[in-house]
């Protein structure tokens, strides 16, 4: 008779060795680097062009994001409709996104069609015209979208906490207003485009089942353009981080709101700091997964929220340690109190071996699971490369998960999980 109370044998995390499949690196004639991952069985492919064209480089709010967004909205030869129709005809997805440091164009397509699509991407980064008509539609639609977002407490809370942490002038902390949209001018978009796309700094990531001629095709389409290697220094752009002086905020956004968006956060060093990956482990135990202390206490024991999470922000210059949840309006204060209680426990008591082993195993399992397929693997590489790190960062992270001691974690908690260092915000 089967005894169901006895767990089957488990192979522990220390016996697993997550490996990051290596890339091949190519350099185009103009110096642009290509990181290539040939992985996978299906005829799927991703081509990702990353430009140093994030909002860090703009002199006026929203110019970087607007230039990036409108790359798809017209060249001297094609209308926005023709460009969209071309990519969609081949069943591909052409996305663009603008972050703080970088701005991207990413193509997901079937390998068999990629050669029809790369020339149009080249056209977009050499010959975009940013028609006034398209800019006008964009401004109006984005303003409307912003109006809706501003009604959501989580959106408002996200903006405010970033501003407290980094300052309203810093690229990580600034946010868009209706007026920012209204004051966008075609000329400033064009000037930004010339500098940061046409003659920009670029790096390319490709992943999937790579067609044999893919590097030749990249060379043909992008190798002769006046682009620069992404890591060649542009110019000294310095953005000082100026955190807010006051630490506690209560904001009423919607008098009828039934929940509060709670954000508790502190500034934290970037990935090059020796504590970063270790803090990642502590974070995991604190609020990084379903079995974490915050989740176990505040959701699974008290039922104050559908979910509570903590994480280290993925910024290059400087990170922040963030705790985030949407909690019932009448239990926001109790939620905050419990978060501080959990910090205190981590400062005061060693994490017991069983809990630590669970977290180690879970995290190694998660890394193994996350490396599911070429796009996920290249995503890891991209993060490493754009942060100016190498594969040692990945393997060091694995080592820390397996080896960090309870004493080290307690020291980290004493160093970083001090309530007086945290900003505290509730938006209802």
Within positions 264 to 303, which residues make up the interface with other proteins, using CB under 8 A?
289-291, 299-303
- Site for other proteins (CB under 8 A): which residue of 29, 77, 145, 399? 145
Q: Which is nearer to other proteins, 88 or 213 (CB)?
A: 88
Site for other proteins in 307-326 (CB under 8 A): 326
- DSSP letters for 112-138: GGHHHHHHHHHHHHHHB---HHHHHHH
Closest to 409 (Cα-Cα) out of 293, 263, 262: 293
Residues 19 and 2: their CA atoms lie apart, in Å, by 37
Q: Which is nearer to other proteins, 4 or 233 (CB)?
A: 4
The token duo for 373 is: 């397929």
57 near 230, Cβ under 8 Å? no
Site for other proteins in 85-124 (CB under 8 A): 85, 88-93, 108-110
Residues 129 and 75: their CA atoms lie apart, in Å, by 5
Site for other proteins in 148-207 (CB under 8 A): 148, 150-153
Site for other proteins in 215-254 (CB under 8 A): 254
Question: What are the counts of helices (DSSP H) followed by strands (DSSP E) for the chain?
Answer: 15, 12
Residues 83 and 400: their CA atoms lie apart, in Å, by 47
The token duo for 224 is: 């002769």
- Region near other proteins per CB under 8 A, out of 84-92, 118-126, 236-244, 390-398: 84-92
Site for other proteins in 14-73 (CB under 8 A): 16, 40-44, 72
Indicate if the alpha-carbon torsion angle 71, 74, 76, 82 is positive or negative.
positive
User: Which segments of 92-236 are extended strands (E)?
Assistant: 93-98, 103-110, 201-208, 228-229
The token duo for 364 is: 């190694």
For the CB of residue 13, give the shortest distance to other proteins in the complex, in Å. Answer: 6
For 287-306, letters b (16+ CB in 10 Å) and e give bbbeebbbbebbbeeeebbe
CA-CA-CA-CA dihedral for 376, 379, 383, 388, to nearest 10: 120
For the CB of residue 400, give the shortest distance to other proteins in the complex, in Å. Answer: 16
Q: Which is nearer to other proteins, 194 or 290 (CB)?
A: 290
Residues 366 and 378: their CA atoms lie apart, in Å, by 16
For the CB of residue 272, give the shortest distance to other proteins in the complex, in Å. Answer: 28
- Site for other proteins (CB under 8 A): which residue of 23, 57, 304, 393? 304
For the CB of residue 186, give the shortest distance to other proteins in the complex, in Å. Answer: 17
Site for other proteins in 122-141 (CB under 8 A): 137, 140-141
For the CB of residue 11, give the shortest distance to other proteins in the complex, in Å. Answer: 4
Strands 33-38 and 24-27: antiparallel
DSSP assignment, residue 310?
E
The number of residues that bind other proteins (CB under 8 A) is 72
For the CB of residue 343, give the shortest distance to other proteins in the complex, in Å. Answer: 22
Query: Could you give the 3-state DSSP secondary structure of residue 383?
Result: helix
For the CB of residue 364, give the shortest distance to other proteins in the complex, in Å. Answer: 6
Site for other proteins in 351-390 (CB under 8 A): 357-359, 361-362, 364-366, 368-369, 372-373, 375
Q: Is 13 in the site for other proteins (CB under 8 A)?
A: yes
- Region near other proteins per CB under 8 A, out of 2-10, 51-59, 234-242, 405-413: 2-10
For the CB of residue 191, give the shortest distance to other proteins in the complex, in Å. Answer: 25
């Amino acid at each position: 008779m089967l005894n169901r109370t006895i767990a089957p044998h488990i192979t522990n995390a220390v016996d697993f060795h997550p490996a990051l499949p290596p890339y091949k690196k190519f350099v185009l004639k103009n110096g642009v680097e290509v990181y290539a991952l040939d992985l996978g069985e299906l005829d799927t492919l991703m081509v990702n062009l990353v430009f140093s064209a994030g909002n860090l480089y703009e002199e006026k709010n929203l110019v970087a994001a607007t230039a990036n967004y409108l790359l798809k909205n017209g060249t001297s030869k094609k209308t926005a409709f023709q460009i969209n129709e071309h990519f969609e005809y081949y069943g591909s997805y052409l996305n663009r996104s603008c972050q703080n440091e970088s701005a991207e164009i990413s193509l997901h397509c079937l390998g068999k069609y990629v050669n029809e699509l790369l020339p149009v991407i080249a056209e977009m980064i050499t010959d975009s015209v940013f028609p006034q008509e398209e800019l006008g539609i964009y401004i109006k639609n984005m303003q409307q979208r912003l109006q809706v977002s501003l009604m959501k407490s989580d959106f408002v809370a996200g903006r405010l906490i970033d501003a407290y942490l980094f300052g309203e002038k810093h690229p990580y902390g600034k946010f868009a207003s209706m007026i920012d949209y209204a004051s966008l001018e075609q000329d400033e978009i064009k000037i930004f485009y010339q500098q940061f796309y046409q003659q920009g700094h670029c790096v390319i990531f490709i992943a999937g089942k790579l067609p044999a001629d893919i590097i030749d095709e990249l060379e043909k389409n992008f190798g002769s353009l006046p682009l620069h290697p992404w890591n060649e220094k542009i110019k000294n752009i310095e953005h000082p981080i100026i955190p807010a002086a006051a630490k506690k905020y209560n904001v009423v956004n919607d008098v009828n709101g039934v929940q509060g968006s709670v954000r508790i956060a502190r500034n934290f060093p970037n990935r090059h700091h020796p504590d970063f990956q270790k803090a990642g482990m502590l974070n995991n135990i604190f609020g990084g997964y379903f079995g974490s202390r915050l989740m176990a206490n505040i959701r699974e024991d008290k039922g104050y929220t559908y979910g509570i999470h903590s994480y280290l922000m993925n910024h290059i210059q400087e990170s922040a340690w963030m705790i985030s949840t949407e909690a019932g309006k009448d239990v926001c204060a109790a939620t905050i109190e419990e978060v501080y209680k959990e910090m205190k426990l981590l400062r005061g008591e060693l994490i017991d071996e069983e809990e630590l082993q669970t977290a180690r195993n879970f995290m190694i399992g998660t890394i193994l699971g996350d490396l599911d397929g070429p796009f996920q693997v290249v995503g890891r590489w991209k993060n490493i490369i754009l942060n100016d790190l190498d594969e040692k960062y990945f393997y060091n992270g694995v080592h820390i998960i397996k080896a960090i001691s309870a004493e080290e974690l307690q020291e980290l908690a004493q160093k970083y999980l001090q309530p007086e260092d945290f900003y505290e915000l509730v938006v209802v």
